[in-house]
């Protein structure tokens, strides 16, 4: 009996222990939820998106176009008089100074004309001197006759010492002397005019003789020579004096170079002083940096382009006129624009927009944009520097989706 009782007590204890273990196991399972029941809004399980911060940067409207290099000044030299070239003193590539004689035209008959004109001038000067002496003589005679007439009038007041006939004769002599004085003055004026004409003729011939020397108009380089000694050159006329047609030399000034390019009509923001980068053909080194110097303020009606010039200093004469080049113009420069990457801005029928994160959820913001430069776009309205935006508008979860933002660092 006692043995049976002890065995029953042990069995009950085993059953109670097994039940207690089961209950403990069920309690532990209830305390640990299954993976399928984990909350989808837990941060570790949210979609990750890359965001960037808007930043200030310099943006500008840039245009790349073709260009041509030209001499700062270029002139074709023609003959003003006809004759034979007796001397040619320069050749292509020679550096010349302003006023330097490049060639001489020999005109012997013009030298003879100058000698004759000088002789005529001396003759007219002698005639003028004679006319002046005659004038002085007539002035003295007028003074004498006037004094005699006055004396005779005083003597004849009493009608005692001079007759009326004598008095009339004295007055007539005075009038004749005055008339002769007028003739002498006219002769003097004619002689003076003849001297002026003769002197002008001499100066004219001297001027024409000066044209027998072909001189450089400015410091530069002889770019073209089209004559030799002994050539007969003809005086240029309005119909023949076209560039390089009949010219003797072409002289270029190349210490400075003009860069000509065309700006299309859809780029109206070009200004004098805008930066320009010039890359001439054949130069593999550093480009030439300049600025817009001038533009024509008109569009070519055929091309709708505006001629624009950039001046480059060329002290070492590395740049040659006629060289082809590429020009990059920087216009409408804005040094402190608020920008984001171009990939961060989208566009649809409602306008331009970016995506931002508000309360860890994707939100769309409407923005206004400006210039695009170097992979960045200017935002002119709708965004602040403190508002993060998604780095790309592609493959973005729907709006109001909870996400996990991750700030990425951009290359400056």
* Per-residue confidence (pLDDT) for residue 284, from 0 to 100: 82
State pLDDT tens for residues 194-219.
Answer: 999 999 999 999 988 999 999 999 99
- pTM of the predicted model, to two decimals? 0.65
Contacts of 169 (CB under 8 A, 6+ apart): none
User: Is residue 36 pLDDT above 90, yes or no?
Assistant: no
% of the chain residues with pLDDT over 70: 83
Fold classification of 49-59+336-407 is 2.40.420
For residues 91-106, give the mean pLDDT.
Answer: 96
The DSSP result for 299-365, as a single string, is --TTT-EEEEEEEEE-TT--S-TT-EEEEEEEEEEEEEEEEEEGGG-EEETTEEEEEEEETTEEEEE
C-alpha span between 281 and 290 (Å, rounded): 16
Decide whether 49-59+336-407 matches 67-73+251-333 in CATH topology.
Answer: no
Distance CA 234, CA 245 (A): 12
Give CA–CA dist 365/346, Å, rounded: 10
Using CA atoms, how far apart are residues 184 and 178, in angstroms rounded to an integer? 10
Domain 67-73+251-333 has CATH 2.40.30.170: yes
Angle at 397 between CA 391 and CA 399, to 5 degrees: 100
Residue 14 to residue 21: CA distance in whole angstroms: 11
Domain residue limits, the chain: 49-59+336-407, 67-73+251-333, 79-103+216-247, 108-211
Task: Give the confidence band of 300 by pLDDT, cuts at 50, 70, 90.
Answer: very high
pLDDT at 239: 52
Q: Which residues pair with 353 in a beta bridge?
A: 346, 366
Of the pLDDT bands very low, low, confident and very high (cuts 50, 70, 90), residue 17 is very low
**Which CATH code for domain 79-103+216-247?**
2.40.50.100
The secondary element (H helix, E strand) that includes residue 188 is helix 164-210
């Amino acid at each position: 009996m006692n043995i049976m009782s002890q065995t029953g007590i042990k069995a009950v204890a085993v059953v109670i222990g097994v039940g207690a273990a089961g209950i403990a196991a069920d309690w532990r399972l209830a305390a640990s939820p299954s993976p399928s029941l984990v909350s989808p809004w837990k941060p570790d399980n949210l979609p990750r998106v890359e965001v960037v911060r808007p930043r200030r940067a310099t943006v500008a409207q840039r245009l790349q176009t073709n260009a041509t290099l030209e001499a700062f000044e270029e002139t074709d030299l023609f003959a003003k008089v006809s004759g034979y070239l007796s001397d040619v003193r320069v050749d292509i590539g020679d550096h010349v100074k302003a006023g330097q004689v490049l060639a001489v035209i020999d005109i012997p008959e013009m030298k003879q004309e100058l000698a004759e004109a000088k002789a005529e001038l001396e003759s007219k000067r002698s005639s003028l001197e004679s006319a002046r002496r005659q004038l002085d003589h007539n002035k003295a005679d007028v003074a004498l006759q006037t004094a005699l007439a006055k004396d005779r009038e005083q003597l004849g007041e009493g009608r005692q010492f001079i007759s009326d006939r004598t008095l009339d004769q004295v007055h007539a002599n005075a009038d004749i002397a005055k008339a002769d004085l007028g003739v002498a003055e006219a002769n003097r004026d004619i002689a003076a005019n003849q001297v002026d004409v003769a002197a002008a003729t001499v100066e004219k011939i001297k001027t024409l003789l000066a044209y027998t020397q072909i001189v450089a108009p400015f410091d530069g380089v002889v770019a073209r020579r089209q004559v030799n000694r002994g050539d007969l050159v003809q005086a240029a006329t309005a119909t023949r004096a076209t560039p390089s047609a009949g010219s003797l030399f072409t002289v270029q000034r190349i210490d400075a170079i003009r860069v000509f390019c065309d700006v299309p009509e859809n780029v109206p923001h070009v200004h004098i002083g805008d930066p320009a980068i010039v890359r001439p053909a054949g130069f593999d080194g550093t480009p030439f940096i300049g600025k817009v110097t001038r533009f024509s303020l008109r569009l070519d009606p055929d091309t709708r382009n505006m001629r624009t010039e950039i001046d480059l200093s060329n002290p070492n004469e590395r740049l040659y006129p006629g060289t082809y080049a590429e020009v990059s113009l920087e216009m409408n420069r804005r040094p402190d624009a608020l920008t984001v990457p171009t990939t961060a801005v989208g566009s649809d029928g409602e306008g331009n927009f970016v995506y931002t994160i508000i309360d860890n959820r994707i939100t769309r913001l409407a923005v206004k944009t400006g210039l695009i430069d170097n992979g960045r776009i200017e935002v002119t309205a709708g965004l602040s520097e403190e508002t993060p935006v998604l780095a790309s508008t592609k493959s973005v979860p729907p709006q109001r989706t909870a996400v996990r933002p991750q700030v990425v660092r951009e290359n400056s």
